[in-house]
Structure 1
Amino acid sequence: MHPMLNIAVRAARVAGQIILRGFENRSDLTKETKGVNDYVTLIDKEAEQAIINKIQQSYPDHSFLGEESGETHGADTEYQWIIDPLDGTTNFIKGIPHFSVSIALLHKGRLDQAVVFDPIRSEIFTASRGQGAQLNGYRIRTTKPKDLSETVLATALPFKEKAQFGEFALSLNRIFRECGDIRRGGSAALDMAYVAAGRMDGYWERGIKVWDIAAGELLVREAGGLVTDFVGNNDPMYKGEIVAGSPRVVQSLVKHLK
């Protein structure tokens, strides 16, 4: 395992322990509202700080971009860690056991290392650029369905921008008529990890943030998949929209999303 990936895995596990303790004591949670249908808890903040502290023990000069703490610049700006300490906070608050820790490392602007950790199932998805993707140490690959009729897809409703639901519903209707079925899990990082592991055949979402998808993007690419924006461009990380899956699935989804 790459040394930086090893540190990311350790950081994700430390955060996972904090999240599990919080999940077992949700009656004591204090949540804050960041925006419309957008929540944060002290657990999110504690987990993010624990991740940063763990990484800084080995790499004190690296930079960070965290969902809760924002962007901090270290002396070594070639390396930036992108962190979502608790992807699926609403599920966490409601007691739905489906959320994750997401950590990605950019090296000179390119995705280099990725970890998505599901602390409930103790599943850790990892990827290093050019080295493939793994689940708990075993190689994973995306599926290769012949067409959308064979697929189970993942997506998310535009719950923060409900005015966009009309446009979303039109594309959803077109995709649903062709695919096998659709799921809505509530954690973008896990959706992409599941695509990488072949549990889902494809995924699309709009209104997404870079910390939600950075680790997942590398996982899918290293598992043999394709990641684009809604018009098929291959650099979606900062676009606020994403399509992921095998090349054939992505091509079919983009056709309905353009």
Structure 2
Amino acid sequence: MSGKENFKRSIPIFSSSISVFFNDKVIASSIYDPLRNDFYFTEEGKGAFLNDHRIRVSNRKYLENSLISLQINNSSFEIEKLFLKDHIPFKNFRILNSSIVSMSWLCNGKLDCFIGTNMDKNLILSSKLLLRESGGFFLEASLNKNNFFICANPIIHKKIIKILN
């Protein structure tokens, strides 16, 4: 489950995910958002779906117009501060406190980017296949002993990588 604290406080942003592994590789993954009755499903090589409809990441091109979800913890604030504050208006950031909801909304084109830090490996594996099958890109990197993940549509992903370099 992702968004446990939201669930405990009756904040309607949480979901659950299940993945099928074969030889230590995710071959199918599903995410269920019970409040919206959204069922995301993907199988390797067969695309990504939301309730029987094919989904794709957004095609937004400009960081200034992008919606970016952050998964913030104490150590990660420094990461966002280091490379984002001078490039993206603050109004474009969302903190949903559910990495799986953020990833599923990214895959559906509602969000354009998701940046998370020190996340649970199982949650990452569950959503990585969905992201790839919906046309998105994923990067894992380290900064100041913190792991962080950048997930985005191909255009925004490239621009954020350029900022990092």
Q: TM-score, normalised by structure 2?
A: 0.88
Report SS of the residue matched to 2:141: coil
Percent same amino acid at aligned positions? 25
* 1:191 correspondence with 2:102: yes
Which residue of 1 is the match for residue 163 of structure 2? 256
Deviation digits for residues 115-158 of structure 1, max 9, x if unmatched? 11001111111100000000011100011112212311111212
Higher helix share: 1
Match of 1:217 among 128, 140, 163: 128
Gaps of 5+ in 1: 1-85, 232-238
Gaps of 5+ in 2: none
For residues 62-81 of structure 1, the aligned pairs below 5 Å read none
Q: CA RMSD in A?
A: 2.1
Which residue of 1 is the match for residue 34 of structure 2? 119
Q: 2-side partners of 1:207 and 1:174: how far apart? A: 23
Q: 2-side partners of 1:150 and 1:180: how far apart? A: 10
Report SS of the residue matched to 1:117: strand
Q: 2-side partners of 1:131 and 1:153: how far apart? A: 27
Report SS of the residue matched to 2:72: coil
Match of 1:247 among 126, 149, 154: 154
Which residue of 2 is the match for residue 174 of structure 1? 86
Q: 2-side partners of 1:126 and 1:88: how far apart? A: 19
Q: Which of the pair has more CA radius of gyration? A: 1
Q: CA deviation at 1:240?
A: 4.1
Q: 1-side partners of 2:138 and 2:114: how far apart? A: 9
Q: CA deviation at 1:210?
A: 1.1
Runs of 4+ in 1 over 4 A off after TM superposition: none
Contact 2:64 2:88 in 1 (8 A): no
Q: 2-side partners of 1:204 and 1:175: how far apart? A: 15
Deviation digits for residues 150-181 of structure 1, max 9, x if unmatched? 311111212xxx2553343223313424x871
Contact 1:192 1:213 in 2 (8 A): no
Q: Which amino acid aligns with 1:132?
A: G
Which residue of 2 is the match for residue 165 of structure 1? 77
* 1:89 correspondence with 2:18: no
Deviation digits for residues 195-248 of structure 1, max 9, x if unmatched? 1100101111111111222221111110111111137xxxxxxx9421111122
State the number of aligned residues.
162
Q: TM-score, normalised by structure 1?
A: 0.58
Q: 2-side partners of 1:125 and 1:147: how far apart? A: 27
Q: 2-side partners of 1:226 and 1:168: how far apart? A: 19
Q: 2-side partners of 1:241 and 1:104: how far apart? A: 22
Which residue of 1 is the match for residue 17 of structure 2? 102
For residues 30-45 of structure 1, the aligned pairs below 5 Å read none
Q: 2-side partners of 1:257 and 1:208: how far apart? A: 20
For residues 48-63 of structure 1, the aligned pairs below 5 Å read none
